[in-house]
Amino acid sequence: MGRWRSPFFADMIRSIRACKTAAEERAVVRKECAAIRAAINENDQDYRHRNLAKLMFIHMLGYPTHFGQMECLKSIASAGFPEKRIGYLGLMLLLDERQEVLMLVTNSLKQDLNHTNQYIVGLALCALGNICSAEMARDLAPEVERLLQFRDPNIRKKAALCSIRIIKKVPDLAENFINPAAALLKEKHHGVLITGIQLVTDICKVSTEALEFFRKPKCLDGLVKTLRDVVNSPYAPEYDIAGITDPFLHIRLLKLLHVLGQGDADASDCMNDILAQVATKTESNKNAGNAILYECVETIMSIEDNGGLRVLAINILGRFLSNRDNNIRYVALNMLMKAITVDAQAVQRHRATILECVKDLDASIRKRALELVYLLVNESNVKPLTKELIDYLEISDQEFKGDLTAKICSMVEKFSPDKIWYIDQMLKVLSEAGNFVKDEVWHALIVVISNASDLHGYTVRALYRAVQTSIEQIVLMFLHQESLVRVAIWCIGEYGDMLVNNVGVLNIEDPITVTESDAVDVVEIAIKHHSSDITTKAMAMVALLKLSSRFPSCSERIRDIIVQNKGSLVLELQQRSIEFNSIVEKHQNIRSTLVERMPVLDEATFSGRRAGSLPATVSTSSGTSLNLPNGVAKPAAAPLVDLLDLSSDDAPVPSSSGNDFLQDLLGVDVSPASVQPGTSQAPKAGTDVLLDLLSIGSPPVQNNSTPSDILSSSQDNKSSVAILDGLSPAPSGGAASMIDLLDGFVPNSPKPEDNGPAYPSIVAFESSSLILTFNFSKPPGNPQTTLIQATFTNLSPNVYTDFVFQAAVPKFLQLHLDPASGNTLPASGNGSITQTLRVTNSQHGKKPLVMRTRIAYKLNNRDVLEEGQINNFPRDL
């Protein structure tokens, strides 16, 4: 025959087990699958059973087996029990939710549900219970309903679970099942009872009518009696586990009581006695007993209030919590989280024990305990709890530090009684686990520091001390405490004078003597250290610039440090180095204005902007981890924009031009900040640099726009490149032209820009019938302003009436429209309308003009609207 016969099932497993590599395994499986397919094609019935068994194994290993589905159907359709059994099993395992296969099987299921052999009925029920779709549920519900009263209990119990699937798929059918389900509750057979109870529980969840029905005393009393019988039942070897008869049945009954008692005082009242009995009488030295107690506590906590029972429940949890078995402690913590909404005081009593669990060796327990502690924090206990957690932070596992830090920061922020405490705690966290602190946390800290004007001196000294104490282990520090260093550098830059002159010393402080050169040392170390990332270095650069004015004696030294970065490979630093050097060297007269202390950062704006990302910190608990990769720009960068970019739209800054300029410098830092060390930053940095160039280009004197505007107006790289082209027409290096720009803003060296109207006219808009041309001229002595004479010509044979021209420009431009010469445009080019536009370009020399236009007129009394965008303005306007 030449056909490669498929070996026996056991042979296949042996050969798979013998495989040493995944590739070998794949090869064996491929060969087996090929043989099975061949057998399927030949409709080989002798081997069908064996082939299906093989397919199940192959499926379990994770290989596709869809081709076996039809084989299952054939097997189900055969007459014998063994064939049907393997067919149904295969169907349940291999099925891939393809509706057509399900449709094909519905008929077989229907026949088998009505089969005379009860074992075959059992098979069909089991399959239906596992795979039933909504359609099948509608088709087969009557059969299942009937089988709930079948003579053999083994069929009744399966029919009960099958009914659960049906009412979950089609909740409308639930009502049909209320009465048969109620009948099941009276059964003695444990299998029928436990499945019947599960069915009733699920019916109550989808149907309020059913819920009311089962809450009635006649049903509820029966349930309570059943539970009592089970609790008091004599030894039953078949169901006994550790001296308890059928703990599973106990638990299902308690779960049902939970559903019935919740929100119904009368029903809750009915079950009080039995719950009290379970809670007090159940043996708690074995797992089975504890499982029942655990469920009982859950039920007590959910049903309507009964003080006595709750005390009982909380005491059980207290016992659990001090148990030495980790499993028991875990469920106790789990349950206390639910109990906290019911009785916060009672849970607070266990605070010390819970706090110990945060330090447990077991990660599952630590996680639960930390979440529980977080829920326990309030204004009155935040101080001791935070202290405990921060102390523990020092010695905790690396992988736990992230979660722990997030929770500490969140609770400190939420409940801090005063700013000095907040600042103290945050400094501790930053010192212990700086690198686990999310960016928005240290951004928030800077905002708070900025607002606490009486604490500026204190804070900068504390930070200086924190950085100093670890300066011996400088390598370690920069690996683990980057955010501490950043905050310290920012504060030294801003409040360096307070550090040196000991301004605003609080009486809790130890005296400290810091010389100007000491302060510069710290910043210098930060900027020179190899492990500092760009953000830190950029912040250090700005701090140095600020210090150069605050500490005139160190000015020379600072300039040297700045100049060293002239050759930095990071464009951002290189550029800053050149600019700052130029400021230090040539612009002494404006420097002090430039580097003035930043105005107080607006807390409301910051927290408002931050609102979107705040829940993230709070809910790190919920399974989904919210550890956004640091490279993700949006959440990380947004707060920074707030923080550093003062000129955000909703916080207008009434400040000097010097400040505006600085904001731009700082605003630029936004982009690199989102690039963390270690992440691949090549493509990102590319765009960042473009953005940098754009924003640094804005001359400070007339800066109406904000960096964010510029960013948004050049969203895609392409356009920013285009703008860049316009920015440096001369092929001089970018850096050189930057120096020019800086020089350009010295008041007494204006650029020779006021040349005559040497600009060519353009056709700004052209349709088949309408032409708009622009002629340009410049008013002498005002290079930023352009006068545009717009001329409209109508080539069509019809007159245009009610002619209106409108224009819009981006924020960096200002537009003034003079009245038009008329509102009727004669036909066939016999005359024209003229209108003068005056445009002022605040980005003159950097960005070309751009304009949107809208022309409205009436043609034969019909409204016509023509819109367009003008991008072809001459450069340098």
Partner 1 sequence: MGIRFILMVNKQGQTRLAQYYEWLTLEERRALEGEIVRKCLARTEQQCSFVEHRNYKIVYRRYASLFFLVGVDNDENELAILEFIHLLVETMDRHFGNVCELDIMFHLEKAHFMLEEMVMNGCIVETSKSNILSPIQLMEKMS
Minimum distance of partner 1 from residue 396's CB (angstroms)? 16
State yes or no: residue 158 binds partner 1 (CB under 8 A).
yes
676 with 631: CB under 8 angstroms?
yes
Q: Which amino acid is at 155?
A: I
State the CB neighbour count (10 A cutoff) for residue 141: 20
Minimum distance of partner 1 from residue 239's CB (angstroms)? 6
Minimum distance of partner 1 from residue 180's CB (angstroms)? 17
Q: Judged by CB under 8 A, which of 47, 57, 67, 421 binds partner 1?
A: 57
> Which residue number, 4 or 81, has a Cβ lying nearer to partner 1?
81
Q: Which stretch binds partner 1 (CB under 8 A): 121-129, 607-615, 636-644, 705-713?
A: 121-129
Q: Judged by CB under 8 A, which of 48, 329, 486, 844 binds partner 1?
A: 329
Query: Rounded to the nearest 5°, which phi and psi values hold at 851?
Result: -155, 145
> Which residue number, 82 or 779, has a Cβ lying nearer to partner 1?
82
Tallying the residues shown for the chain, one arrives at 877
Q: How buried is 511 (Cβ within 10 angstroms: 0-12 exposed, 13-18 middle, 19+ buried)?
A: exposed
> Which residue number, 191 or 734, has a Cβ lying nearer to partner 1?
191
What tokens does 580 get?
Answer: 């700052």
> Which residues, 358 to 387, sit near partner 1 by CB under 8 A?
361-365, 367
Q: Judged by CB under 8 A, which of 2, 511, 623, 819 binds partner 1?
A: 623
> Which residue number, 246 or 669, has a Cβ lying nearer to partner 1?
246
State yes or no: residue 164 binds partner 1 (CB under 8 A).
yes
Distance CA 90, CA 83 (A): 10
State yes or no: residue 443 binds partner 1 (CB under 8 A).
no
Size of the site for partner 1 (CB under 8 A): 70
Q: Judged by CB under 8 A, which of 32, 71, 112, 246 binds partner 1?
A: 246
State yes or no: residue 642 binds partner 1 (CB under 8 A).
no
CA atoms within 13 A on the CB side of 605: 21
State yes or no: residue 191 binds partner 1 (CB under 8 A).
yes
Q: Which stretch binds partner 1 (CB under 8 A): 156-164, 633-641, 670-678, 868-876?
A: 156-164
Q: Judged by CB under 8 A, which of 148, 251, 462, 851 binds partner 1?
A: 251
Q: How buried is 14 (Cβ within 10 angstroms: 0-12 exposed, 13-18 middle, 19+ buried)?
A: exposed
State yes or no: residue 288 binds partner 1 (CB under 8 A).
yes
Q: Which stretch binds partner 1 (CB under 8 A): 94-102, 306-314, 556-564, 653-661?
A: 94-102
State yes or no: residue 130 binds partner 1 (CB under 8 A).
yes
Distance CA 229, CA 252 (A): 14
Nearest to 298 by CA among 284, 279, 319, 325: 279
State the CB neighbour count (10 A cutoff) for residue 207: 20
State yes or no: residue 85 binds partner 1 (CB under 8 A).
yes
Q: Judged by CB under 8 A, which of 53, 278, 636, 691 binds partner 1?
A: 53
State the CB neighbour count (10 A cutoff) for residue 704: 15
State yes or no: residue 265 binds partner 1 (CB under 8 A).
no
State yes or no: residue 112 binds partner 1 (CB under 8 A).
no
Q: How buried is 449 (Cβ within 10 angstroms: 0-12 exposed, 13-18 middle, 19+ buried)?
A: buried
If residue 534 lies in a helix (H) or strand (E), which one and from where to where? helix 534-550
State yes or no: residue 156 binds partner 1 (CB under 8 A).
no
Strand partners of residue 808: 852
Binding mask 8-47 for partner 1 (x = CB under 8 A): -xx--x---x------------------------------
Listed in sequence order, the residues at least 6 apart from 58 whose beta carbon sits closer than 8 Å to its beta carbon are 29, 32, 33, 65
Measuring CA to CA, how many Å separate 599 from each of 246, 247, 590, 632, 662?
A: 71, 68, 18, 29, 12
636 with 698: CB under 8 angstroms?
no
DSSP code string of 812-832: TEEEEEPPPS-S-B-STTS-E
Strand partners of residue 832: 793
> Which residue number, 9 or 67, has a Cβ lying nearer to partner 1?
9
469 three-state secondary structure? helix
State yes or no: residue 56 binds partner 1 (CB under 8 A).
yes
Minimum distance of partner 1 from residue 155's CB (angstroms)? 11
> Which residue number, 57 or 745, has a Cβ lying nearer to partner 1?
57
Backbone conformation region of residue 18, classed left if phi is above 0, alpha if psi is from -120 to 50, else beta: alpha
Minimum distance of partner 1 from residue 89's CB (angstroms)? 6
Q: Judged by CB under 8 A, which of 327, 381, 531, 814 binds partner 1?
A: 327
> Which residue number, 118 or 468, has a Cβ lying nearer to partner 1?
118
> Which residue number, 201 or 581, has a Cβ lying nearer to partner 1?
201
What tokens does 320 get?
Answer: 């659990």
Listed in sequence order, the residues at least 6 apart from 713 whose beta carbon sits closer than 8 Å to its beta carbon are 719, 810, 811, 812
Q: Which residues bind partner 1 (CB under 8 A)?
A: 9-10, 13, 17, 53, 56-57, 59-64, 81-82, 85-86, 89, 93, 95-97, 119, 122, 126, 129-130, 154, 157-158, 161-162, 164-165, 168, 190-191, 194-195, 198, 238-239, 241, 246-249, 251-252, 287-288, 290-291, 294-295, 298, 326-331, 334, 361-365, 367, 623
